[in-house]
Amino acid sequence: MNKFKILTAIGDYMMFLKKLFFHREPFSVYIRNTAHEMVIIGVESVTIVFIISAFIGAVTVVQFAYNLENPLIPRSVIGLIVRDMTILELAPTITAIVLAGKVGSNMAGSLGTMKITEQIDAIEIMGINSASYLVLPKIIASAFMFPVLVTIAAFISITGGYFAGTISGAITEYDYVYGIREYFVPYNIFFMLVKSFVFALLISSICSYVGYNTKGGALEVGRATTVAVTNSCIAVLCADYVLAQILL
C-alpha cells in the first residue's frame, strides 16, 4: 500500500511539473515575478548563508587542526581539506539544507495558505495556469540564485577558516593560503555549481508541489511545510550521492 502511495506521489509530482510548462502564461509575465522571487530567495538569504558558512569554515579548521597531530603531515593540508570539503560537499549541501528550511518552508507555507484561502482558485478562475504562474518563477529564481549563494558560501567558509585558523594559532597564514592553492582542481567548482543547480530544482519544485497541493486548514499548512522541508532534504541528500557517483 505504501509502495503505491509513493508511486502515486511521484506520478502526481511529475504531472505537476508538466503542468508548469503547458498552457503557461506569456514569458513577459514571469520576468517580474522571477525578479521578485530572486530577491526573496537570494538577497534575503545572504545573511543566514554568510553566518552559517563562516562558522562551518571556522569549525572545520579548528577541528582538523586538533586532529592533525602527526608532525609528518604538513599543516597546509588543513587549508587543502577545508577547501575541498567546502567546495565538494559543505557549501552546496549544507547551504541547500539551510535553504530548504528557510526558502522551501516559505514556498510551501505561502502556497499552502494561498490554496486553503482559495487564492489559487481565484487565479484559476481568471483562466490563468496557477501552477505555472506561481511556481515557475520560484523554480527559475532558485535555479539562478542557489549557485550564487553556494559560491558565496564557499568563499565565506574558506575565509572563515582562514580567520579561525590564524587567530587561534592553529595554522599560519602562509600554510593556510598555500594549502587552499595546493592541488586545486577547477572541475570541483563545476561540480559544486551543478550540485547547487540540481538542489535548487529539487527544493523549489518539491516544496512548491507540497504547498500547492495542501488541503484542509491552518494545521495542514504547518504539516505541509514540515513535509516539504523533510522531503526536500531527503531528496537533496539522495541527489548528493547520485551526483557524486556520476560526476566524480
Partner 1 sequence: MLRITNISKSFDDKNVLDSISGEFLPGKVNYIIGASGSGKTVLLKCIVGLLKPDTGSVFFDDMNLVTALFNQRKKILREIGMLFQGSALFDSMNVQENILFPLDRFSQLNCEKKIERVNFCLERVKLSGSNKLSMSELSGGMRKRVGIARAIALNPRYLFCDEPNSGLDPQTSIVIDKLIKEITVEFNMTTLVVSHDMNSVLETGDSIIFIHQGKKCWEGNREEILHSDNTWLNEFVFAGPHQKMLRDKIENRK
Query: Can you give the binding site for partner 1, defined by CB under 8 A?
Result: 23, 25, 29, 113, 117-119, 121-122, 124-128
We find the least distance from the C-beta atom of residue 120 to partner 1, in angstroms, to be 9
Shorter beta-carbon distance to partner 1: residue 113 or 166: 113
We find the least distance from the C-beta atom of residue 22 to partner 1, in angstroms, to be 9
We find the least distance from the C-beta atom of residue 29 to partner 1, in angstroms, to be 8
Shorter beta-carbon distance to partner 1: residue 120 or 139: 120
Give the separation between CA 231 and CA 207, rounded to whole angstroms: 8
Give the separation between CA 143 and CA 49, rounded to whole angstroms: 16
Under 8 Å between Cβ of 37 and 54: no
Residues 6+ apart with CB under 8 A from 75: 65, 68, 171, 172, 175, 179
We find the least distance from the C-beta atom of residue 119 to partner 1, in angstroms, to be 5
Shorter beta-carbon distance to partner 1: residue 57 or 137: 137
For the CA atoms of 48, 99, 210, 21, the dihedral, rounded to the nearest 10 degrees, stands at 120
Shorter beta-carbon distance to partner 1: residue 87 or 221: 221
Backbone phi, psi, residue 74, to 5°: -65, 145
Task: Please report where in the chains the cell 507555507 appears, as a residue.
Answer: 109
